[in-house]
Amino acid sequence: MSSTMGTHSGSLPADPPGGQEPAEVPAVGRMPAIRPERAPVPTSDGTVVLDVALPVYNEEAALEPAVRRLHSYLKDSFPHRFVITIADNASTDSTLEIARSLCAELSDVRVVHLDRKGRGRALRTVWLASEAAVLAYMDVDLSTDLAALGPLIAPLLSGHSDLSVGTRLNRNSRVVRGAKREFISRSYNLVLRGSLGARFSDAQCGFKAIRSDIARALLPWTADDAWFFDTELLVIAERAGLRVAEVPVDWTDDPDSSVDILRTSIDDLKGIVRIGRDMMSGRIPVAELRDALGRNATDRSSGALLGQMVRFGVIGAFSTLAYLALFILMRTIADAQAANLVALLITAVANTAANRRLTFGVAGRTGAVRHQFQGLVVFVLGLALTSGALFWLHSGREPSRGLEVAVVVGANLLATLLKFILFRVWVFKHPRRNLAVPPPPGPTDAPIIK
């Protein structure tokens, strides 16, 4: 991989993210926590404020007019220092030669050549190597009206937001594209909201920006090198409690786009499954990222409580159904107390494991035995509650089977409420700790050029 800017040349890290981290480069995990109150970006000290990346692959026809148009727009409309980075993704036509020619002519243009394709790989590489305070990218066809660039980066410069994305799905957006692409786009974003709880409206609009301090914290946790990179970065950002601003854009579809819609859609669905698995397994340490980067501790705690209640409720509902099925099954071969004990014990172990991972975000084996032991203590309290209810019910005349089931379900729901409280304030209580982002695992370490 090579890098050129203006008439000067230099070298960027030879290995893309995912290779071994150079020993002299500090890992992202060792940087101090970024305070929730973001400071405005300094714009008067002569440093580069904005770096706009243009990922390209075999774009010899579109590249030069796009760069000249973007450069002219920034010269006329952006009052601070900027850089345009052409990220050539192993083009096989004359794209790289055109890019180098533009670089030699325009002092604010640089070129980075990568030996492998992939928009995600290109953006991760150039963003981690950039010295600008705000990092942006757009598609080289400039389908998005450049008038939206100011509103895109303004909330990042002021410190109001951490990421900013263009959206074609806002009612104030003006979009010209075919019905097929419109349907696919809306369907994909609907899947994202349903599967990952995403709140952003348009994951794949090629018009985004991010503060560089946030980028250095999040990018090493991204794994996709292609089109799903955008979605992955946004999902991690939202789960980390970061603020994502959305800007309605005017957008005109490129009829000559070479994107394989079917293949990209399949890859995106695979990406959704993978990132969900990565967050559940702890490969992406959502809780730690939220502690280090998330905004407004009070609001974050409130949101965390609501999310925990929802996840706990869903798990509790499945646990109650499983308990009920086991109780009814065991009741055919044992008395009520024995059936209650077996059903509670089996569901309690599974419930504790599920809540540990999904509700309270605890991953890995550390503390797992202690958590199960504490979960068994909570189980004993639940057992005492439900057994006491059954004892009271059977202290009189023999109840009907329907009444017996209703009583144990009610007692189990009450025990579930008690369980949530104890899980939150005792079993899975987060200790106070140094709020620094942990280092990513070795295979995803990314070099940072300061």
CA distance 108 to 54: 13
CA distance 294 to 319: 32
CA distance 398 to 404: 9
Around 139, how many Cα atoms within 13 Å sit in the side-chain half-sphere?
20
Residue 202 a catalytic site member: no
Nearest Cα neighbor of 22 from 37, 11, 33 is 11
- C-alpha separations of 18 from 128, 359, 371 in Å: 13, 30, 34
Instruction: Tell the residue number behind the tokens 């958590």, with chain if given.
Output: 371
Task: Tell me the residue type at 134.
Answer: V
Supply the DSSP string of 115-169, one letter for each residue: SS--HHHHHHHHHHH---SEEEEE-TT--B-GGGHHHHHHHHHHTS-SEEEEESS
Both tokens assigned to 430:
């987060």
Nearest Cα neighbor of 34 from 217, 261, 281, 183 is 217
Q: CB within 8 A of 332, min separation 6: which ones?
A: none
Both tokens assigned to 216:
């250095």
241: left (phi over 0), alpha (psi -120 to 50) or beta: left
Q: What is the largest CA-CA distance in the chain?
A: 96
State the CB neighbour count (10 A cutoff) for residue 426. Answer: 11
Q: CB within 8 A of 6, min separation 6: which ones?
A: 103, 104, 106, 107, 108, 109, 110
Cα dihedral angle (170, 172, 178, 183), rounded to 10 degrees? Answer: 20
Q: Which of 162, 202, 230, 268 is catalytic?
A: 230
Q: Which residues are catalytic?
A: 230
